[in-house]
Structure 1
Amino acid sequence: MAFPQEQKPGWVFRNARIIDGSGGASYLGEVAVTDDVITSVGPVGTVTATGANELDLAGAALAPGFIDAHTHDDRIVLDAPDMLPKISQGVTTVVVGNCGISLAPVQFAGEPPPPMNLLGGRGSYQFPTFAAYAAAVGRASPAVNVAALVGHSALRLAVMSDINRRANDDEIARMGAMLSEAMESGAVGWSTGLFYPTNAGADAEEVASLGRYVAEHGGVYATHMRNEFENVLDSIDESVATARNAGTPLIISHHKCAGVENWGRTKQTLPKIAALAQGHPINFDVYPYSAGSTNLRADLMTDTYPIMISWSEPHPEMTGRYIVDIAKEWGVDIHEATVRLQPAGAIYFQMDEADVRRVLASPLSMIGSDGLPHDVHPHPRLWGTFPRVLGHYCREIGLFTLEAAVHKMTGLTAEVFGLSRRGQLRPGYFADIVAFQPSTIADRATYEVPLTQSVGIEWVMVNGAMSFAATGPISGRAGRLVYRDR
């Protein structure tokens, strides 16, 4: 693309290894940015104009900013808008409102029940409408973009006095009106968390009925399925049937086969999903770890795999310790220890590494961190997900090419969520860009020391504004609410 004389680029990046997010082969090239838009991309010599700022990357990789397909960053984008845990990984857009949990449209007279407390206490829930939340994001101007889903649990708790049953027609109509308001105000879709008590009372018809409101606005449906353990195949069937019934694309959240007795069953689930995806748009997100994390739950308590406490209100001193050790110290069994620790959160080492690799390698998988930023001792995925994929699984393990890995973090995710002009280095696309070193990028967060920044990310640009650099803090924050291309 040639520039008219008056369109001098604000930035020109030269001698970069261009990984454009499409999945195609990388090449040595250059990129020009004017205001918040990429204005030229191509091989060396493509950009003939001189930029106001010129940067020689000396062969470092240049890619679209990573899109975190699964987060619970709804509140941290407001309370800590520098978003260091994510932007330091090269993330420029976070998808919030997953697992049926969102800040809007619900408020609480008392403390929010699990799992809503994963986003904070009563004071965090200040938004009776999605428009109110969208306005708050605009005022905060976080360092990253926000693509928002509306949570089914939030809707049910806002409307229903008894959540342990299916919603009636009046309640569905009221929730549907809330969904319509959200979609008209910028939400990209909605989510369920049928695994959780606040959502488990909903049957497939309730979900499909609400999904039709989202379908009217071209939105997506993401689900933390009813069961990821022994009934995982049945849950896949329910999820796909519901999405088809509603007329929405389906995103299966953090696909896994949990529990020792289910290890290896991705050999069944992945072909099943791939076959069903031939007749309906289906994708799933995945984090690159064999442990998950959520509230401490009695029904998840076992001694067949380790369980680490990530926070506990009555016993904060037990944070970062394993439940079996706590129980032994107290002279009780793990079930009694679980009761004593509540309310609490935990990290569950419930997956098999071979399953994780199979899910990561699937062409249907996107990368999502599923990090919990309000945990005292969070899962390391909060700080390490994207560099771990690029460093460990791509460079060290050779699970996929660098181009394929970047595609799972960028172009594919933007396509699935319908994020217009995001996810690729292309003229006319928004200038969300990350520079990194493929030979050194690596996660440093561990289960023992989780609040540790990754290495290998050199700098990050969001909507044309330099927003992070490894060499020191940058104050630029240009994130915004991003919309689905309808």
Structure 2
Amino acid sequence: MPRYDLLIRHATIYDGTGSPARKGDVGVAGERIVAIGDLSAATADREVDAGGRALAPGFIDAHTHDDQSVLCGADCMLPKLSQGVTTVVIGNCGLSLSPATMRKRPPAPLDLIGGADAWQFDSFSAYADTLRRAPPATNVYALIGHMVLRCEAMDFDLDRPATDKEAERMRRRLAEALMQGASGFSTGLWYPPSRHAPTDEVIAVAEALRNHGGLYVTHMRDEGDGVLDSIEETLKIGRDTGSAVVISHHKCMLPQNFGRSTETLARIDRAAKTQKVDFDVYPYPAGSTALMPDRVSADLPIQISSSEPHPEMAGRMLNDIAAEWGIDAVGAAKRLLPAAAIYFFMHEDDVRRILRHPRSMIGSDGIPSNDMPHPRLWGTFPRVLGHYARELGLISLEQAVHKMTGLTAGVFGMTDRGVLREGAYADLVLFDPDTVVDTASYTAPKTPARGIEEVWVNGVSSYVGGKGVTGECAGRLVTRNAQ
């Protein structure tokens, strides 16, 4: 009679491939799934009766800024575990905690991760060693950020293109990090620290990807009026370096660009016939990042999510603060710095069109350090399951799970993750498909979702609905295409 460490009975299995759900049992031994089917004759050290509820692979957050959070224990990963997330992709938008130290406060948006003391890893191997010594509560897949490489190579003189010598130093640092277990290279060309980097500089640095099979992941130079030009630049970088491309949090921002996702998605589809290109999306019509006065206008609704000199303003609208202070919005933004904000600059129709596209993965893009964060930090994955799949019928539940699991694992090259099959890692989430939904809002953003029953990371129970994290830290560093 078979005996397992964990046996989940009477589940409705969503296997992460997009195939129709099916009834069955799942047996786990150690960190792996070892049996799926009718396991009524088996026993286990622990048995869970799913009662027909949904069992899926643990969700993979395709876009996070959890670089610091994964180092801080299980409680810091509650926003993700409570959504069913078992793996996070860090180092996005050109921001990563390695491979450089900082002698002074980094420029925005790097300071959203932490002050100078947060950058204590002078190599990716030092960061990876920390994860090995003190395992994280979720699995971690790491990218190396262009901004960090620029700060180090250019000694913070960032308002210009890099010299050939500086670009070569960045390329070498990226190559070292890839050999030490990083899985790709990210840029944030929309932000001031990288805005002056021409395409040729990015290509010169990204050449390190050619011999390591790493991904090129980008917050593009322009997601507004120049969004198509930015897609062309992204595709060129991928072609010229032989790299697969991921466009981060794809969107069309500002009113004059509402509806242009029909154009952008068509261009991506054409490109996908000749090169590997994918994208992630978060299920909200507002974004969040550092507060930048040069991106402020009176007709753009902006909510403050944190401010160092004025923490009492977190959660308030910038225009209201400006009126109270008797100054314009730009002046108020300058007074609030350093700060972060939520920008309401997208249209729901574009969000739905991008979310529905078969190439889109789900990423939260949450900022853990904010006092009043965007609700996506706590609500992204249950919102897709509950609001967009169940309530609106925009996609099926099988498609929603696939976008959070198997699709993402395939794009990022995560071996044996993102699927429920024998031999795969036992990253699992048990949820109620009839009740699962986000509860986080713009006014109360730090509230856990409903309907997430239990979450296992590498076979270890890590979150229980109604109780919280278990305190177990069973995650590890996941590397691209590693067997």
Length-normalised TM-score, structure 2:
0.97
Corresponding residue to 1:219 among 202, 207, 214: 214
Q: Would the alpha carbon gap of residues 334 and 186 (structure 1) be closer, same or farther in structure 2, given more than 3 Å must change?
A: same
* Residue pairs, 1:141-290, within 5 angstroms: 141-161=135-155, 162-290=157-285
Q: Give me the whole-angstrom Cα distance separating, in 2, the residues matched to 1:414 and 1:48.
A: 32
Moved more, 48-57 or 332-341: 48-57
Q: Give me the whole-angstrom Cα distance separating, in 2, the residues matched to 1:479 and 1:47.
A: 30
Q: Give me the whole-angstrom Cα distance separating, in 1, the residues matched to 2:59 and 2:300.
A: 32
Q: Is the 8 A contact 1:61 1:435 kept in 2?
A: yes
Q: Which runs of 5+ in 1 are unaligned?
A: none
Corresponding residue to 1:394 among 385, 389, 397: 389
Q: Per-residue deviation at 1:299?
A: 2.3
* Residue pairs, 1:306-385, within 5 angstroms: 306-385=301-380
Q: Is the 8 A contact 2:73 2:473 kept in 1?
A: no
Length-normalised TM-score, structure 1:
0.97
Q: Give me the whole-angstrom Cα distance separating, in 1, the residues matched to 2:467 and 2:371.
A: 25
The residue type equivalent to 2:58 in the other structure is G
Which string of whole-angstrom CA distances, capped at 9 and with x for unpartnered residues, describes residues 325-356 of structure 1? 01111111111111111111110000000000
Moved more, 164-173 or 441-450: 164-173
Corresponding residue to 2:48 among 35, 50, 55: 55
| SS of residue in 2 equivalent to 1:51 | strand
Which string of whole-angstrom CA distances, capped at 9 and with x for unpartnered residues, describes residues 187-229 of structure 1? 1111000011111121111111222211211110100000001
Q: Does 1:476 align with 2:476?
A: no
Q: Does 1:101 align with 2:132?
A: no
The residue aligned with 1:485 is: 481
The residue type equivalent to 1:68 in the other structure is D
Q: Would the alpha carbon gap of residues 11 and 349 (structure 1) be closer, same or farther in structure 2, given more than 3 Å must change?
A: same
Which string of whole-angstrom CA distances, capped at 9 and with x for unpartnered residues, describes residues 383-422 of structure 1? 0000000000000010000000000000000000001110
Q: Give me the whole-angstrom Cα distance separating, in 1, the residues matched to 2:83 and 2:31.
A: 21
Q: Report how many residues are paired.
A: 479
| SS of residue in 1 equivalent to 2:26 | strand
| SS of residue in 2 equivalent to 1:38 | strand
The residue type equivalent to 1:77 in the other structure is V
Q: Which runs of 5+ in 2 are unaligned?
A: none
Corresponding residue to 1:87 among 78, 81, 84: 81
Q: Give me the whole-angstrom Cα distance separating, in 2, the residues matched to 1:215 and 1:427.
A: 33
Q: Is the 8 A contact 2:294 2:330 kept in 1?
A: no
Q: Give me the whole-angstrom Cα distance separating, in 1, the residues matched to 2:286 and 2:121.
A: 32
Q: Does 1:65 align with 2:58?
A: yes
The residue aligned with 1:31 is: 26
Q: Does 1:75 align with 2:75?
A: no
Q: Per-residue deviation at 1:48?
A: 4.0
> What percent of counterpart residues are identical?
52
The residue type equivalent to 2:293 in the other structure is A
Q: Per-residue deviation at 1:47?
A: 6.2
